[in-house]
Structure 1
Amino acid sequence: MRGSLLTPMLLGLSMAAQAEELPAPIKAMEAKGLRIMGSFDAPAGLKGYAAEYQKQGLALYLTADGQHVLTGQLLDANGKDMTRAPLEQLVYKPMSAETWQDLQNTRWIQDGRTDAPRVLYMFTDANCPYCHQFWEMSRPWVASGKVQIRHILVGIIRADSKNKAATLLSAKDPVTALKDYEDSPSSQRAKSDAEVPAAIGKQLDANLALMSSLGLNATPSILYLDDNQILQAQRGVPGELTIDSVMGPQ
């Protein structure tokens, strides 16, 4: 998912496309599994429709006769992408807001100040060495109060990952428990055979289901909103060139 600045073309955007009587070619695309998110003005007698399919935006262009539809990218005479802005406004922004709400509704452990201006969600496995690497990398941002990381625990790496996640979630103070765990030497993070309570096991399963639905299959997976409120996913530990995009300036 990528962010972009809005353009004057968005003046023609309509969030009421679902209330419209869709033309037959657009209905045919809807029948193929596309979700029509809105309509927008397009040049050369075309009418644009923004659609979502498998978490991706797709532009549909209805011809002037209303009988045919074109799909894909539309460029102007200067090579400017005329498709990107309406897809961001009609597909990626609403979809980002939906996913952000889903992330908020999970059971997560807070790392950082409540009033931090930047919030990240991170799918974390207690046995993931790269999650620990990111924990250490993120300390300057967290300690300064600039970033809050919400750890959504999953159990996927080792047999006892779920046990460790359950121990952290069921602690009297999960925030302190997670900090103590991450600050301890790796040699002290022994295998765990702690019981996984049914309720917590269900939550961990839901966390993993959400992770999978977002097309993420490894930890750490870090999610954040960019300046245009478009959801971005960082798979793995950010490198030097991407860390500021994820965390903001240090």
Structure 2
Amino acid sequence: MRPLSLTAGLLSLAAALPLSADTAWPAPIQALVAEGLEVHARFEAPGGLEGFAASHRGREMAVYLTPDGEHAVVGTLIDAEGNDLSAAPLDEHVRRAQETEVWQTLEESHWIRDGDPGAERILYTFTDPNCPYCARFHEQSRPWVEAGRVQLRHVMVGILEHDSPAKAAALLGAEDPARALKAHRRSDDGIAASAQPREIEEQVRANNQRFESLGLMATPTTYYRGDDGRLERVQGAPQEARLIEIMGSPRP
């Protein structure tokens, strides 16, 4: 859709109005909600418009209600200088909230701690036992992990080979998962696939579902919070410059 162009000043943001399950949306917004739109917050917009920060199937979008309350426009609002007036409210009310939800999902996943529990920087990395790039990233991280600067939390998944789920379960179900993971990396053959209690196998399935729900395609995929607190994601074993950025400090 073409952006709505207004000769207005910069967007004046207001605190998001609290939303509740019984919110009576204006008819055009309600029509969009009925089609699956999720409204996260209202915000003030110029030109007599009322803005709604929303998303649909994970894609954020701004919706603007006309002053008569009878029409809604979905798109990007710009001013006479071409400034994007939709980006800030979407970032504040949609992207930041989604980042918080993703981080919480990662915290609640089933992972193996690798590194000092008191390390200032925490990385969640989706790890398949048969993934050579996971092994490479594990090796790349050693200087920071061994220096106590970084804690890796390996979210164990089984997606690459037929025995990946069983190997992931064997690692999660080990008496000392961190030691088992270290031994797996140091051994030529790695950990053997073995039957585990149903509870452990369900943990791997749950991790696999998280992997899919996040729209991920390959391992390792690593999440971390940057210096600005924003959630970052990187796929694969990174090059040196990117590695230093992920680890948050120069190589020890």
- Shorter-chain TM-score range: 0.7 to 0.9
Q: Report the secondary structure of 2:77's partner residue.
A: coil
CA offset at residue 65 of structure 1?
Answer: 1.5
Q: Report the secondary structure of 1:12's partner residue.
A: coil
Q: Which 4+ stretches in 1 moved above 6 angstroms?
A: none
Look up the equivalent residue of 2:219 and give its one-letter code: T
Of 110-119 and 120-129, more deviation after overlay is shown by: 110-119
Q: Report the secondary structure of 2:145's partner residue.
A: helix
Distance 1:17 1:58, change over 3 A: same
Identity of aligned residues (%): 43
Q: How does 1:112-191 map to 2 (within 5 A)?
A: 112-182=115-185, 184-185=186-187, 187-189=188-190
Q: Is the 8 A contact 1:116 1:146 kept in 2?
A: yes
State the distance in 2 between where 1:76 and 1:243 align.
Answer: 39
Look up the equivalent residue of 2:101 and give its one-letter code: E
State the distance in 2 between where 1:106 and 1:63 align.
Answer: 43
Match of 1:14 in 2: 16
Higher RCO (CA < 8 A, seq sep 6+): 1
CA offset at residue 13 of structure 1?
Answer: 3.0
CA offset at residue 205 of structure 1?
Answer: 0.4
Distance 1:116 1:166, change over 3 A: same
Q: Is the 8 A contact 2:53 2:89 kept in 1?
A: yes
- Over alpha carbons, which structure has the higher Rg? 2
Aligned length: 240
Match of 2:45 in 1: 42
Match of 1:220 in 2: 220
CA offset at residue 143 of structure 1?
Answer: 2.2
CA offset at residue 11 of structure 1?
Answer: 4.2
Q: Is the 8 A contact 1:93 1:229 kept in 2?
A: no
Structure 1 regions of 5+ residues with no counterpart?
A: 1-7
Of 73-82 and 150-159, more deviation after overlay is shown by: 73-82
Q: Is the 8 A contact 2:219 2:236 kept in 1?
A: yes
Q: Is the 8 A contact 2:170 2:193 kept in 1?
A: no
Match of 1:86 in 2: 89
1:129-152 Cα shifts (integer Å, max 9, x gaps): 000111111122222322211101
Look up the equivalent residue of 2:45 and give its one-letter code: A
CA offset at residue 77 of structure 1?
Answer: 3.1
